Amino acid sequence: MLPVRVLVVDDSVVVRKLISDALAVSAEVQVAGTASSGAIALAKIPQLNPDVITLDIQMPGLNGIQTLTEIRKLYPKLPVIMFSTLTERGAVITLEALSLGASDYVTKPSNSETLGSAMEQVQRELVTKIVSLGSRRTPAGSPAPVSTTKRKLGSQRIDILAIGVSTGGPNALAEVIPRLPQDFPVPVVVVQHMPPLFTRLLAERLDSRSALSVQEAEAGTSLEPGQVWIARGDYHMAVGRKGTDAILNLNQDPPENFCRPAVDVLFRSTAQTYGANVLGVVMTGMGSDGARGAAHIREAGGEILVQDEASSVVWGMPGAVVSAGAADKICPLPEISQEIVRRVTSNRGRPFAAHASVRT
């Protein structure tokens, strides 16, 4: 397979060299060129025909947001990865970029890091994302048919909605959460792979657009119907029981699937705590986090929806669930909220059977 061609855009010559040198170690990636400004990047795109662009947010002249807006007008399908600072301002602008069509983001190494550690961080985070996003533009044969595992469903009531998502997740959540009605009868728990600070700002952004209350998770919070909790960055989130109440638990146990928070941790705990009364949803994301957790939910009698490939930025996570035979239905993104509401509101008269608490 041909290497993924990348255009690196950053006003700092030091950062351009850091990224270029970090990417050079991978045989799967080729730096097609660099640009020191948004205007130069726009001029180089038709010359270089890159598969992916890495784009600095803060640049003189055309900044990252303005450059992204122009790229989306001219090249709506070209993957763009934003290069962001791990600050509140950087996080706010990054979320704005994602809402405007950026495919993903990575955070810049801090100034305190050594050159070696900075290089390692860029290699670890950026190469995988570039290869995953760039491979979607590489011509391939006809996709293999996918199918869901047929089961007789609809007899159990749903008492919790658990959602797992990663790359492309903020936009997917913005499509689903605000469409849930104000009288939504169950709690919603969400794992979005994001660092600290980003998850709080994501919750605030969704809360401002939704009829439901959306908050970043706090340990010990009781799960109430019609409220949404986003897992805190760098903390696993699980649900458990304290007496008869369902509560949120947070921990910093080792990452799973290289992720913390991890979807598998959340999904396992919902299956242990709620048994068959769980609806799990896996949407766009890189990797396979959520596949094992989805299997736990189905083994307990719960249901699993996944986002389809065509509407996913990356079909890694939902595709892994389908490949494992753990999906009950595959839905395009615009139909997921409607399918959630249909499944959750049916069988509301059936009693909830309490299950053993999960240990976290």
Active-site residues, by number, are 166, 193, 289
CB neighbour list of residue 89: distance below 8 Å, 6 or more residues apart: none
CB contact at 8 A, 281 and 327: no
CB contact at 8 A, 270 and 239: yes
Query: Which is nearest to 84 in space by CA: 120, 48, 58, 52?
Result: 58
CA 350 to mean position of chain CA atoms? 33
Q: Give every strand in the sheet of 80-84, ordered side by side.
A: 29-35, 4-9, 52-56, 80-84, 104-107
CB contact at 8 A, 246 and 160: yes
Peptide bond between residue 145 and the one before it cis (omega within 30 degrees of 0): no
